[in-house]
Structure formats: C-alpha cells, structure tokens
C-alpha cells in the first residue's frame, strides 16, 4: 500500500515538474531579454520614465522602445537620405583605429547572417564530428574563400558545429562537400533538437537525405 502511494506521489511530482520547468525557464529567459531591452530607457530623460510618470516601474516599456527604435532606423535607412547617412557613418567609423576593425568584422557577420538572399545558417547538415563514425548536426555558413582555396583540394564547405544545450558556442570547420549530408530539416527544428540534447526529435520527412 505504501509502495503504491509512494509511486503515485512520485508520478504526480514528476508531472508537476514537467509543467513547471518549461514555464519557469521560459519566464526566466523572457525576463532576461526584457530587462536587457529595458536598458534603452536610459536614453530618455528621467522625467519621462514610467517610474516618475506613474509612480511604478513598468517592465517591457524599454523593450517596446527598443523595437520602435530598430523599426524607425530601418525605415529611415531605406530611403535615399538614410542610405547617405549610413554611408557617412560607415566612413566615419572606418577612420577610427581599433573601432574600424571591430566594426567591419561585426558588420560583415551581421550582413551575412541577416541578408535575405544569404546562405548562412539556411541549411541543416549532418557531419561526422569529432571523429569518424560519430555524427552531429551542423549548419552551413558558406564556402572557404581567399587564400584558403589554394590549399584545399576539391569542393569544401564552411560549417558551424554548435554545442548543446547552448548553440551560441561551437566550432567552425571546413569540410569536404562529399562528407557533408544536407538534412531535410528546417533550421528551427535542428536548433530544437540540439538545445534539447536530442530529446525533442524533429518530425519524420518522406525525402531521403542526400549529399549536398
């Protein structure tokens, strides 16, 4: 009797964990993001801060302000005058030592990642890493360029192998195209699979995977 009751309590406890753990982690991540975006309120005079206007802090106001600033920046940069201002800003930063190298590197990466016609992180791949016979998921980031092509025989692709459960860190590899398999899987599905450490498997697809 006590054994059955103990099993029931254990089952109820695990069921409760399965409900609360995703909620708590989701809330923590959202709270972290919102609190970070709320820092944009520092750009405004303290007299117009919600705490001074309404007598209490309102989480998320700074996040809305950040999103509005990003949208307004994109709107202004889309016209002729905005493009001239962006070009002038780029030239100004390019003349500042140290800042020049950092800004150019970050801009190239962001342009590659967010360009609508770019190929970076558009394909989920299956590669053998860290040794033959051990497979993992990677993302294609492009192809080797510059002097690298003079030292690599055959077709190579640049891939990013993320770590789990944190995919923001990982390894950059250049692998023969014949050793890389393109997956019939979206980037979102691949990320969920990586973050969950293989627990959340993507749905099956009818198409058989083929070499890229």
- Whether the CB-CB separation of 196 and 165 falls below 8 Å is answered with yes
pLDDT, tens only, 78-100: 787 777 887 888 888 878 887 78
Strands annotated E in 8-119 = none
CB neighbourhood size of 112 (10 A):
14
Q: List the structure tokens of 172.
A: 């950059």
Q: What are the Cα distances from residue 106, in Å, to 77, 82, 99, 110, 112?
A: 18, 21, 11, 6, 10
pLDDT, tens only, 125-167: 999 999 889 999 999 988 888 888 888 988 999 999 998 877 8
Q: How far apart are CA 150 and CA 79, in angstroms?
A: 41
Reported confidence tier of residue 76, pLDDT bands at 50, 70, 90:
confident
């Amino acid at each position: 009797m006590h054994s059955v009751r103990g099993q029931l309590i254990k089952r109820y406890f695990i069921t409760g964990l399965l409900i609360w753990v995703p909620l708590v982690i989701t809330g923590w991540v959202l709270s972290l993001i919102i609190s970070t975006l709320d820092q944009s309120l520092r750009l405004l005079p303290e007299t117009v801060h919600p705490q001074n206007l309404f007598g209490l802090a309102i989480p998320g106001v700074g996040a809305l302000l950040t999103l509005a600033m990003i949208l307004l920046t994109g709107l202004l940069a889309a016209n002729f005058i905005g493009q001239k201002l962006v070009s002038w800003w780029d030239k100004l930063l390019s003349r500042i030592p140290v800042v020049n190298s950092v800004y150019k590197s970050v801009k190239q990466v962001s342009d590659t990642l967010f360009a609508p016609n770019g190929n970076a992180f558009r394909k989920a791949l299956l590669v053998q890493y860290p040794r033959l016979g051990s497979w993992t998921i990677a993302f294609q980031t492009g192809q080797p360029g510059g002097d690298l092509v003079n030292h690599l025989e055959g077709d190579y692709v640049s891939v990013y192998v993320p770590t789990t459960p944190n995919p923001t860190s990982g390894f950059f590899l250049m692998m023969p195209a014949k050793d890389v398999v393109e997956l019939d899987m979206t980037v979102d599905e691949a990320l969920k699979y990586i973050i969950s450490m293989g627990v959340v498997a993507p749905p099956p697809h009818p198409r058989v995977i083929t070499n890229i």
